[in-house]
């Protein structure tokens, strides 16, 4: 009888020990999973801190600092011939540079084109400052990278090639859309970023023409 009792207790002890070890194993698994996704969580914070980063259909004009004339209806947009050129290039997945004089509507033109052509792509509106060390999202997505006022980036010696190389590695499809002031700024841009300019932009749309 004592032996049977001892055996029974040993069986109970082993059962609880196994249950305890299972719980510990689950806790360790959850902890390891959290450690694994921590860089992804941090990457989302990095992006939200540095960029406008959301789907095109969720964009607002304020995201691109688009200014409207006093008392104008922000939702009314009068299209022009250049808009079709921008949209046609985007439909072909071509990288587009829009140039024009200050206040000529460059940013509004690309905003409208992106809304019309790629509502479900994710936009990364890059600020003209050093962002090379940012952690990029783990999941591959369709991205539209926007360099608004490209001349400001060249003034700050922004490393376009490094940035695009990193984001391309995280992209299913990647399209670059940019604006730049025409005239001296555009000429300087071409001179200072020859390799980037030639290797990146398929189409240049001039709003001044």
Q: Return the closest-CA partner of residue 51 out of 160, 171, 135.
A: 135
pLDDT, mean of residues 7-13: 52
How many other CB atoms are there within 10 angstroms of residue 149's CB atom?
Answer: 16
* Region of poorest pLDDT, from 56-60, 104-108, 190-194: 190-194
H-run or E-run covering 141: strand 141-147
Distance CA 193, CA 12 (A): 74
Taking the CA of residue 146 as centre, how many other CA atoms within 13 Å lie in the half-sphere pointing to its CB? 26
Residue with structure tokens 């960029």?
A: 51
Query: Do 165 and 134 touch, CB atoms closer than 8 A?
Result: no
Of 194 and 70, the one with more pLDDT: 194
pLDDT value at residue 203 = 92
pLDDT category of residue 5 using cuts at 50, 70 and 90? very low
- Taking a C-beta distance cutoff of 8 angstroms, is the pair 148, 182 a contact? no
- In terms of average pLDDT, the best of 6-10, 196-200, 203-207 is 203-207
Q: Which long-range contacts (CB under 8 A, 24 or more apart) does 71-78 make?
A: 77/108, 77/112
| Nearest-10 crossing angle of helices 81-91, 106-117 | 50
DSSP-assigned letters across all residues of 158-197: --HHHHHHHHHTTEEEEEEEEEEESTHHHHHHHHHTHHHH
Angle (nearest 5°) at CA 9 between 4 and 11? 95
What phi and psi, each to the nearest 5 degrees, are found at residue 166? -70, -45
Residue 180 is predicted with a pLDDT of 93
Q: Which pLDDT score, from 0 to 100, does residue 42 have?
A: 57
51-67+81-206 to CATH, choices 3.40.30.10, 3.40.50.300, 3.40.640.10, 3.30.460.80 = 3.40.50.300
Question: What pLDDT digit, counting tens, does each position of 135-186 carry?
Answer: 677 778 899 999 999 888 877 778 888 888 888 988 999 999 999 999 888 8
Q: pLDDT tens digits for 59-116?
A: 888 888 887 655 555 567 778 889 999 999 999 999 999 999 988 899 999 999 999 9
Tell me the sheet residues that pair with 97. Answer: 178, 204
Question: What mean pLDDT do residues 11-33 have?
Answer: 78
End-to-end CA distance of the chain: 103
Using an 8 Å Cβ cutoff, are 56 and 120 in contact?
A: yes
- The pLDDT score that the predictor gives to residue 41 is 57
Mean pLDDT of 125-136: 73
């Amino acid at each position: 009888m004592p032996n049977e009792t001892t055996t029974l207790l040993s069986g109970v002890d082993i059962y609880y020990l196994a249950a305890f070890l299972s719980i510990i194993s689950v806790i360790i698994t959850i902890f390891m999973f959290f450690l694994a996704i921590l860089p992804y969580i941090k990457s989302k914070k990095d992006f939200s801190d540095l960029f406008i980063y959301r789907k095109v259909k969720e964009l607002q004009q304020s995201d691109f600092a688009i200014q409207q004339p006093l008392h104008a209806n922000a939702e009314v947009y009068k299209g022009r011939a250049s808009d079709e050129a921008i949209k046609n290039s985007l439909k072909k997945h071509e990288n587009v540079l829009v140039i024009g004089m200050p206040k000529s509507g460059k940013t509004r033109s690309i905003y409208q084109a992106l809304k019309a052509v790629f509502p479900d792509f994710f936009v990364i509106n890059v600020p003209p400052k050093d962002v090379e060390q940012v952690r990029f999202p783990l999941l591959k997505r369709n991205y539209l990278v926007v360099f608004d006022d490209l001349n400001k980036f060249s003034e700050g010696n922004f490393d376009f090639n490094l940035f695009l190389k990193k984001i391309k590695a995280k992209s299913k499809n990647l399209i670059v859309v940019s604006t730049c002031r025409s005239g001296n700024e555009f000429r300087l841009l071409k001179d200072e970023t020859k390799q980037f300019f030639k290797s990146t932009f398929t189409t240049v749309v001039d709003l001044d023409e």
